[in-house]
Amino acid sequence: MFSKIRSLIFKLDPELAHNLAIKSLKLNYFPKYKLKNNDSIKTTIFGKTIPNPVGVAAGFDKDAEVYNSLLKLGFGFVEVGTVTPFSQYGNSKPRIFRLEEDLALINRLGFNNSGSDKVYYTISKNPPSGLLGINIGPNSNSKNRIEDYLICLRKFYKLADYLTINISSPNTENLRSFHDKEELNDLLSSIEKEKTNLKTTIPIAVKISPDINDEDIEIISDLLIKYRIEAVIISNTTEKIEKI
Ligand SMILES: Cc1cc2nc3c(=O)[nH]c(=O)nc-3n(C[C@H](O)[C@H](O)[C@H](O)COP(=O)(O)O)c2cc1C
């Protein structure tokens, strides 16, 4: 069926196609077949058993509008976001580009989202029917980026099964400076302190860039171990565009 409508969808601007996908999932119409559970692909993650290990990455359901529809479709888990403390428009359009030959997309959205209050309200009203991760990040005009992560941690620690500290995006100026040893140490120690204050054990994942140097991998890994980070998500849009 997809092959038939693919050429039609590819005539649309990619961001419009994305928005239409969200709208149609909101209508919640699904074919009648139901995926059979298969015990061999059941997985346990963060102490919860999920039906399969294939999830939807951050960036599709940015505002937490359709995570239950995605779970119903058969995904094993969904990560919503990236959510920032306050709503923001993101970069100017066009900001998603198809690389048809490579069967890929380049994303330059820049954390467009409705902000943490709205997303909190949406999820509170519509409890997730499966494992839900919330991916958090700072606003582009933030004066204190670590505080932005903490605002989102405080907002979401009771709603999510895990939180992703997103330092991987190339589309928020200087976000990737959190890969530097000192900055990452400050960020992770602040997260750890805030978790202690909140008396929460919510699992934390850190989403890192695909563009880090080999020598930085060890430095970053040491810090992730030092702060007992439960998961690492690799990776995101690269800034190294090479013609193969
Ligand atoms: C349109 C688009 C929007 C994205 N938005 C986000 C985002 O808001 N936060 C994030 O952490 N990753 C975002 N990503 C990155 C994806 O979550 C994923 O890490 C990336 O696409 C690499 O996975 P892939 O190789 O399977 O595509 C986005 C990707 C795309 C294509």
The reported pLDDT for the residue numbered 180 is: 87
Is pLDDT larger for residue 55 or for residue 170?
55
207 domain residue, yes or no = yes
The reported pLDDT for the residue numbered 170 is: 87
Q: What is the mean pLDDT of residues 50-61?
A: 96
Task: For residue 138, give its domain range.
Answer: 2-234
51 domain residue, yes or no = yes
241 domain residue, yes or no = no
Is pLDDT larger for residue 107 or for residue 87?
87
The reported pLDDT for the residue numbered 4 is: 77
The reported pLDDT for the residue numbered 225 is: 97
Q: Whose CA is nearest to atom 18 of ligand 1?
A: 236
Residue 171, token pair as written in the block: 């589309």
53 domain residue, yes or no = yes
pLDDT tens for 28-43 read 776 656 677 788 999 9
95 domain residue, yes or no = yes
57 lines ligand 1 (CB under 6 A): yes
Q: What is the mean pLDDT of residues 212-241?
A: 90
In total, how many domains does the chain have? 1
Q: What is the mean pLDDT of residues 55-82?
A: 96
116 lines ligand 1 (CB under 6 A): no
Is pLDDT larger for residue 235 or for residue 190?
190
226 domain residue, yes or no = yes
166 lines ligand 1 (CB under 6 A): yes
pLDDT tens for 149-193 read 999 999 999 999 999 999 998 888 888 989 889 999 999 999 999
The 3-class SS string of the chain reads CHHHHHHHHCCCCHHHHHHHHHHHHHHCCCCCCCCCCCHHHCEEECCEEECCCCEECCCCCCCCCCHHHHHHHCCCEEEEEEECCCCECCCCCCCEEEEHHHCEEEECCCCCECCHHHHHHHHHHCCCCCEEEEEECCCCCCCCHHHHHHHHHHHHCCCCCEEEEECCCCCCCCHHHHHCHHHHHHHHHHHHHHHHHHCCCCCEEEEECCCCCHHHHHHHHHHHHHCCCCEEEECCCCCCCCCC
Q: Distance from the CA of 237 to the center of ligand 1, in angstroms?
A: 7
In the predicted model, is pLDDT for residue 242 greater than 60?
A: no
Active site residue 169: yes
17 domain residue, yes or no = yes
In the predicted model, is pLDDT for residue 59 greater than 60?
A: yes
Band (18; pLDDT cuts 50, 70, 90): very high
The reported pLDDT for the residue numbered 171 is: 87
Rounded Cα gap, residues 34 and 90, in angstroms = 37
178 domain residue, yes or no = yes
The amino acid at residue 188 is: L
CATH number of the domain where residue 62 is located: 3.20.20.70
Given the residues 24, 169, 189, 221, select the one marked as catalytic: 169
How many angstroms separate the Cα of 68 from the Cα of each of 56, 127, 170, 179?
A: 12, 8, 29, 33
In the predicted model, is pLDDT for residue 82 greater than 50?
A: yes
Q: What is the mean pLDDT of residues 195-212?
A: 96
Mean pLDDT (the chain) is 92
Q: Whose CA is nearest to atom 24 of ligand 1?
A: 236
* Burial class of residue 124 (count of CB atoms within 10 Å of its CB; 0-12, 13-18, 19+): exposed
**Alpha helices of 43-144 — where are they, by DSSP H?**
67-73, 116-125
Band (243; pLDDT cuts 50, 70, 90): very low
